[in-house]
Amino acid sequence: MSYFLAHGKWPENYACHKCDNPPCVRPAHIFDATAKVNMEDMVLKGRGSCGEQRWNAKLTKVQIVEIKAAHASGDVFQRELAEKYGVKRKAISDIVRLKTWKHIPTEEIK
């Protein structure tokens, strides 16, 4: 409502907070952003949970580094990694294709 009153229109996407204070309604603290920009803003401000911080994480950062290194060596199949770490093969595939756990820089696996 604050965005509407300040700009005379509803946001096209999401009304996001610069100050990250949910009760704040100051128009200068609210901006229109796409879902992607909103998610990037959340991550930059350290509000999002990813990796081990997620309640349902089955792997640790150390294990992810091990998985990426083992896969990069070419000496092990994804199926074997899945069995070793107690996850599905798709989870391993998503890790090595950077669909998940992409917040861990590739240089950490060397």
Chain segment 30-81, per-residue pLDDT in tens: 899 998 888 888 877 777 667 777 777 889 989 999 999 999 999 999 999 9
Judge if 34 and 60 occupy the same domain.
no
Judge if 58 and 77 occupy the same domain.
yes
Q: Is the pLDDT of residue 92 over 90?
A: yes
What pLDDT is recorded for position 44?
A: 79
Q: At 96, list the tokens.
A: 């090595």
Judge if 38 and 73 occupy the same domain.
no
Judge if 76 and 94 occupy the same domain.
yes
Residue 59 burial (CB count, 10 A):
19
Judge if 39 and 56 occupy the same domain.
no
Judge if 57 and 100 occupy the same domain.
yes
Nearest to 16 by CA among 5, 28, 7, 6: 28
The b-or-e profile of 66-79 (16+ CB within 10 A means b, else e) is bbbebbeeeeeebe
Judge if 56 and 38 occupy the same domain.
no
Phi–psi pair at 30, nearest 5 degrees:
-115, 130
Structural domain count of the chain:
2
Say if residues 36 and 51 touch (Cβ distance below 8 Å): no
Q: Is the pLDDT of residue 16 over 90?
A: no
pTM over 0.85: no
Nearest to 37 by CA among 15, 22, 10: 15
User: Stretch 2-22: mean pLDDT, rounded?
Assistant: 88
Judge if 65 and 33 occupy the same domain.
no
Judge if 37 and 57 occupy the same domain.
no
Q: What is the domain range of residue 37?
A: 2-44
Judge if 66 and 30 occupy the same domain.
no
